[in-house]
């Protein structure tokens, strides 16, 4: 069971320039938006990165990232000096829910880096992760699992935190789950 009081959400490089080239990108955006809104409901911090934003643009508008909230990077892993500093400021949060693109590059390198950090664990939110090609996505998910990452979908994760209809956040999470999904669906 994921404890929201020990968890941080990582959103990796979900930028507008990737929209036309990432497999099922609309589904990734929908699921990442749901994860971000769920994090807000539970009071979990959210860390957002942008890969080379001066060239690749900003985070997609659908994620409603405030000006200056995203951390610019040029390395592939999200574990930049600034992200490491943010993690150090919340030592009780050793579990990371990770989503973003591309699965086989930035996302995978972030997973592998986090797993090497003492005490950290990762859940890869598979319906909010993709690559340009399905094969790259599939192999990346398997690689992350082989190295110790757990796998989950955004709904299974958020409803797992709620546990039942009597939870204070049930209605908010249920409302998020009822939002229409894009026609294109990701599969494992």
Active site residue 178: no
Catalytic residue, from 12, 73, 127, 144: name it: 73
Q: Which of 13, 37, 127, 144 is catalytic?
A: 13
Reduced to 3 states (helix: H, G, I; strand: E, B; else coil), residue 15 is strand
Phi, psi values for residue 60, rounded to 5°: -60, 145
Residue 14 to residue 60: CA distance in whole angstroms: 6
Residue 73 annotated to the active site: yes
d(CA 150, CA 41): 22
Residue 144 among the catalytic residues: no
Residue 177 near residue 151, CB atoms below 8 Å: no
Of 12, 99, 106, 144, which is the active-site residue?
Answer: 106
Strand segments (E) across 34-139: 46-51, 71-73, 95-101, 121-130
**How many C-beta atoms lie closer than 10 Å to residue 181's C-beta?**
13
180 φ/ψ sector (left φ>0, alpha ψ -120 to 50, else beta): beta
Residues acting as catalytic residues? 13, 73, 106
């Amino acid at each position: 069971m994921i404890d929201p009081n020990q968890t941080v959400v990582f959103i990796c490089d979900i930028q507008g320039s990737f929209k036309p080239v990432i497999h099922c990108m609309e589904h990734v955006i929908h699921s990442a938006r749901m994860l971000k809104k769920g994090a807000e409901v539970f009071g979990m911090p959210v860390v957002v990165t942008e890969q080379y934003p001066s060239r690749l643009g900003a985070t997609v508008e659908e994620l409603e990232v405030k000006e200056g909230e995203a951390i610019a990077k040029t390395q592939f892993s999200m574990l930049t000096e600034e992200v490491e500093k943010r993690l150090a400021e919340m030592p009780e949060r050793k579990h990371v829910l990770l989503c973003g693109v591309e699965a086989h590059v930035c996302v995978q390198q972030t997973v592998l880096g986090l797993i090497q950090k003492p005490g950290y664990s990762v859940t890869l939110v598979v319906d909010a992760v993709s690559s340009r090609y399905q094969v790259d996505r599939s192999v990346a998910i398997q690689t992350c699992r082989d190295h110790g990452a757990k796998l989950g979908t955004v709904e299974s994760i958020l409803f797992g935190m709620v546990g039942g209809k009597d939870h204070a956040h049930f209605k908010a999470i249920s409302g998020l789950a009822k939002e229409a999904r894009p026609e294109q669906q990701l599969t494992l």
